[in-house]
Amino acid sequence: MAAAPFTIKDVAQAAGVSTATVSRVMNRNGYVKDEVRKHVEDVIKQMNYQPNILARSLKQERSRTVGMVLPDMTNPYFMAVARTVQQHLMQQGFHLLYMDSDDNPSKELEAIQVFAGMRTEALILAGTGGNADCLNQMLAEGKTVVLFDRTVCGVQADLIMDDNRSSAKEAMSYLLGKYGPDIGIIRGPDRISTSMERTEGTRQAIAEAGCSPEDFIWFEGGFTRRSGREAGKQWAKLTDRPKATFSYNNEMTYGFYLGLKESGIPLEEVEVVSFGELETAPLFANRLSVIYQNPVKVGEALAEMVADRLEKGRKEREQRIFMPRFERMFH
């Protein structure tokens, strides 16, 4: 069907040289007479020759490619991170490939295996919490694995994340100071480390305020807009609605507001604190505070850590914990 693309042989023949010379021209290594080089370059351009990266990678045993597995590609936070990583890696001559795990461990495993098969040189992962065995095996084999946003229990890989415990505690203390135990919490599944850590911070704050977790209403969401919306609708049905909400991520917060709105509850009724990036929130939420997670900073750190391993041969494990900014209330 597709006309077979040109090979290095075709180019060599057309230019009247050997394949070795063409290769040398393309990779600018070895000596080639200027005149010949010029000629070969012209032929390449004219034929629109694209070297077969599959063959090149196979031979060189380097794919110059990095794989990234994300739990939700429709979440702009993750995509902003991804975009930053891509830009920086490209400058180092790497290409970034993405797959979406849909926050589902078995899809995640499939994605990881696809990348492994492609001989991706590094794996960047915001994990579902599963697949620890697989990741450990990769680490044991000396593969480069960098986790971000979320740890995976039992996996000692490079890591970039936020200090979830402290910032959750800070945020929750703030709400407790204002409203006492009259607060609802939209958490995530325990499988996901960010959720677990945020819960730890939240419980610490609760304990220090002399309360007990049972005094609060907990909703378990899935870090998705839909689950936040469910929480909002359930919230609306409560007879004694809490005065404040603490939400573990941006999407659930959007969803929560949508749920309230659909149920006819005025959004000002409840003060909200949320993790994540909520760029359009100022349009509708005037009682919202945000624990801001900077995607650009995270993306830059990821690119740097990957490059350090791949180019500089770093071997020791590295972890970076960022302290997110708690931005009090838009107004």
Which residues bind to DNA, rule: CB under 7 A? 4, 7-9, 16-24, 26-27, 29-37, 51-52, 55-56, 58-61
79 touching a copy of itself, by CB under 8 A: yes
Of 304, 328, 307, 305, the C-alpha closest to 318 is 305
- Write out the binding residues for a copy of itself, residues 235-294 only, by CB under 8 A: 254, 257-258, 261, 267, 279-280, 282-285
Sole binder of a copy of itself in the list 53, 153, 296, 323 (CB under 8 A): 53
Q: CA distances (Å), 241 to each of 155, 200, 234, in order? A: 40, 24, 10
Q: Of the ranges 31-39, 90-98, 184-192, 209-217, which one interacts with a copy of itself (CB under 8 A)?
A: 90-98
Task: Give the Cα separation of 69 and 260 in Å (integer).
Answer: 32
Which partner in a copy of itself, DNA, none is near 19 (CB below 5 to 8 A by kind)?
A: DNA
Query: Is residue 216 within 8 Å of 65, Cβ to Cβ?
Result: no
Which residues have CB under 8 Å from 99's CB, separation 6+?
67, 68, 69, 70, 111, 114, 115
Which partner in a copy of itself, DNA, none is near 13 (CB below 5 to 8 A by kind)?
A: none
Structure tokens, 89 = 């890696």
Nearest distance in Å: CB 229, DNA: 45
Sole binder of a copy of itself in the list 100, 170, 182, 318 (CB under 8 A): 100
> Is the Cβ of residue 6 or residue 78 nearer to DNA in the bound state?
6
> Is the Cβ of residue 8 or residue 288 nearer to DNA in the bound state?
8
57 touching a copy of itself, by CB under 8 A: yes
What is the b/e burial string over 279-308, where b = at least 16 CB atoms within 10 angstroms of the residue's CB? Answer: eebeeebebbbbbbbbbeebbbbbbbbbbb
> Is the Cβ of residue 208 or residue 327 nearer to a copy of itself in the bound state?
327
Of 162, 126, 131, 125, the C-alpha closest to 145 is 125
